[in-house]
Structure 1
């Protein structure tokens, strides 16, 4: 299929997409449009975000829809409010010349009454998030017993976000005669279960090699200590003055912490996480789309629905556990013919993950050195020179001031004027990077078993936990690094529980830990650190890793209420969120 004219779509749709600039169908559109136009067979399409999926299912279904019937004929489910709105907006643009077909989007965070009124006025197309769709089904406002098409967009993310039961409920409420179209970036077991239980002999389309990353994206990694991840982000940003990117973190607490640090250091940055109200979330996303924000810190789930084609960088503050998630992250840059860079900030314990991802995506990462202070300053200086050289000069507006300006600088030589001009823009960054330390570390060779057995850790109890505002795993690492005499002390597991926590440190620094934490406060709380009774654990690592249980602590408790006794292994029966 060379162009959309060959698809056989009705003229009203062709006129609309021509105005939108559609010329040649994307690979996913070339595969799905003829299928949906010609058959009612179910479809599973595996394709990454940004490949034109909305047009791939939207155009052929809108071609077949019955404008005379005001009942819901097409239901599109998406994981987030933002993606829901995005799909509905795109569908309305396709329908510019089909005025009898109406689209209603239903999602949380907006008044349900107005959505109910819109549905009752008649809508052939419903685009919804699972939660609000269930709500409207329960109110009997929506009835899907006779719909012809059901589209599950970003199906893997709907499952990741906990919508499995909602999807089952919605799927069960729809007609057995419907055509089901499932679009997903990945094909985990749960997606296969949906296909097995709710779809009939579906055709599966895989776009290219399923796990291969875009050829327009370069993959770099920096090898640093875990405690230097944030400083590495700053150097990447400073080295690239025109950076426009997303920083991916594991948790919303970590995203919030990184964004707050960036803001305090003067960067145009903000976070996207689950604690934001819908209004706050919309504000952050609009500022980012408008490039008022240059850096957005987000978790994978929070970034869903954010579709931006001009991103220069994706930065992995932590590598994801799932290699397919890395493919999805890196695919957010290098779009629409643009080139992009995916950066991974890793410590020695992550090097094997880099190798795993390389095998998965069929591409090599290039190890780069974190730029030093001189390199950053040079890059910023040349960026400034380029901006000055290429700035548009408004002769008419500055002409009235030129005589006074010239007189002001009459005593300065050309060289002195340049020095003064550069210093105005440059003194702060020069001062910051003066004597900047080298963040790069050597890749550690795998130790043999005897080395691991000889590496021992002491486990400590600390009377701080999730209940202490601002205390988290990153804060614990910072407290260790900031208060011990040597910053590169090897750290073992860290378990953050509700009212207290545990951490492990190289046993050679056992007394240093007890001394360093003996006179510390965290906010208004006096910090109490005690050595856990029992054998030391062998076989540690530098930095932090996921997994593991909290471990018990038994002994006399000197603060926090209740005297001595035994602390529960995982803190009030809760799972530990991380260890180290």
Structure 2
């Protein structure tokens, strides 16, 4: 009770209100708690666990199972924080993806509470580094996600090692059939608390939607992320492939985003999370499963690149923003066919989705120009070099008024930013009718323009990077600001591509790509007639280096078969 005000825990959440009295007064009884992530379940079981600890007793008394390393670490940190004024309570977390020897040494101190991921726990049991015979309480946190991640057999194995007089507390967002099987097999007459998901929608969250075509979702996200430098959050996708592809598209456009999904190694996942927590990344692109265990309280946005079929997943996602009394935005980007899902969510969760107002390209540019201007205004000019050059430079500008000079500086910066002086074409595709031309009109216009003159360019991006012709056009037009109607034929190859643009705008193509880096590789665009062949060879070397040993082994095998 002494530590709770220090942790700003003064008003219990619904799951805490209902679970804590049961788990304290009936600590020996099995328990089921159904509530979404982010509703305070750790305190709901952590405080009763600490209340039940006997620091003088020998042996481990409680085991908490979590599906991911991150969630396990967060549970351990919170329980340790709760036990600040309880002398002698020992808490230890063990997980995969880290050296096992230090964990074995830590377990020799016989912690009262062990938090573990299933795989690492079984490994420690097999090594006889852990003894569960004295455990009185087994807690499953995010039980549905453990099953989704394929831990069913591990759960059976673990519970077989923790047999005896113990209570099992199971917390989950949903009661799937597999969870009901575990309840029937391992639990006896459990108390059950269910927090209706319809009552869990945080009132601090503004639920918004925007309707667009599927192909335009990445461009829309780029606009949204560029609008506000203090914006940060999670973009949810349906599959690991969608997550990776979307992250790559946004990274190609120079945005501070990265993907987090099940195919990443633990080290890669740790690096991504480190960058996100220190604000070098603004958005994580994640699947529902991969996002479990991510607990960051200052998220301004949750963006649904695809709407989940299960309303509880929507509640779980959106609940990651609007925490600690702050306001948050949950934005659903939907196609026309997906609007029916929004209607269902509105009805079942008693929500009101309001239309999202698309930020204009001019507003995005203005935000960037203001930051640029503020940086210039704060430059220290007290240097001899400035005085030495001022007279000569000032004589060049003396015929210009202040307004004219500012306009020329703005034009210069817009060119440096790779922004056309006209509104970028991709904005018009999100607006009603845009420039008045349909896709068919633009194709017809291009076909009827055989008398136009085009210039051919090389770019060291190919199909191996996950790009097709349409996506390359999007990249070129977005980066340069030219219209899609200015782009001619595209030739895609595995490690490179060639594209043509009208000669009247060809001069604006190369410079916006200068300095653009992808995975440590510089992206280059050159006149195909003067530099394409040379750059094709260097591009191949860069791609070969980037592809890694696995692809190299495959190439060697092919070479051996040819010989």
User: Normalising by the residue count of structure 2, what TM-score does the alignment of the two structures yield?
Assistant: 0.70
Offset at residue 71 of structure 1 (A): 0.8
Change (3 A) 1:154 1:361: same
Superposed, 1:89-488 pairs within 5 Å as: 89-210=77-198, 212-368=200-356, 370-371=358-359, 375-381=360-366, 385=370, 411=398, 413-416=401-404, 418-419=406-407, 422-423=410-411, 426-427=414-415, 428=417, 430-431=419-420, 433-440=423-430, 478=468
* Whole-Å separation in 2 of the counterparts to 1:481 and 1:93: 49
Instruction: Report how far residue 139 of structure 1 moved.
Output: 2.5
Residue 202 of structure 1 and its aligned partner are, at CA, apart by 2.1
Unaligned runs of 5+ in 1: 5-13, 444-468, 484-515, 526-580
Query: Alignment length, in residue pairs?
Result: 446
Kept after mapping to 2: 8 A contact 1:312/1:339: yes
Residues 299-326 of structure 1: per-residue CA shift (max 9 Å, x gap):
1111111111111111122222322212
Q: Residues of 2 paired with 1:422 and 1:253: CA distance? A: 40
Where 1:136 maps in the other structure, the secondary structure is helix
In 1, the alpha carbon distance for the partners of 2:496 and 2:366 equals 44
Of 34, 39, 56, the match for 1:46: 34
How large is the RMSD of aligned CA atoms in angstroms? 3.5
Secondary structure at 1:215 match in 2? coil
Alignment of 1:36-75 (within 5 A): 36-40=23-27, 41-75=29-63
Per the TM alignment, residue 364 of structure 1 is displaced from its structure 2 partner at its CA by 2.8
Q: Which residue of 2 aligns with 1:28?
A: 15
1:130 deviation in Å? 0.9
- Whether the 8 Å CA contact 2:463–2:492 is kept in 1: the answer is no
Taking structure 1 as the reference length, the TM-score comes to: 0.69
Taking the aligned partners of 2:297 and 2:315, their CA distance within structure 1 comes to 16
Q: Aligned equivalents of 1:378 and 1:238: distance in 2?
A: 10
Deviation sequence 1:108-152 (CA, Å, 0-9, x none): 011112211211221111100011112222233223233111111
SS at match of 1:166: helix
8 Å CA contact 2:258, 2:281 repeated in 1 = yes
Cα distance change, pair 197–387 in 1 and its aligned pair in 2 (3 A): farther
* Residue 73 (structure 1) shift: 0.4
Given that 1:222 and 1:440 are in contact with CA atoms closer than 8 Å, whether structure 2 keeps it comes out as no
Q: Deviations over 1:472-503 (max 9, x none)?
A: 9x86xx457889xxxxxxxxxxxxxxxxxxxx
**Mapped contact 2:361–2:427 kept (Cα < 8 A):** no
Query: Structure 2: how far apart are the matches of 1:268 and 1:24?
Result: 36
| Offset at residue 362 of structure 1 (A) | 1.8
Kept in 1: contact 2:38–2:316 (CA 8 A): no
Classify 1:34/1:93 alpha carbon distance in 2 versus 1 (closer, same or farther; 3 Å).
same
1:371-413 deviations in Å (ceiling 9; x for gaps): 4xxx132254157548978x99989x77679985997778464
Compared CA separation, residues 300 and 211, structure 1 to 2 (3 A): farther
- Distance change in 2, residues 1:68/1:296 (3 Å): same
**Given the alignment, which residue of 54, 60, 67 partners 1:79?**
67
User: SS of the counterpart of 1:302?
Assistant: helix
Q: Please identify runs of 4+ aligned residues in structure 1 that moved more than 6 A.
A: 386-389, 391-395, 397-403, 405-410, 469-472, 480-483
> Hey, what's the Cα distance between the residues in 2 that align with 1:44 and 1:325?
19
Match of 1:489 in 2: none
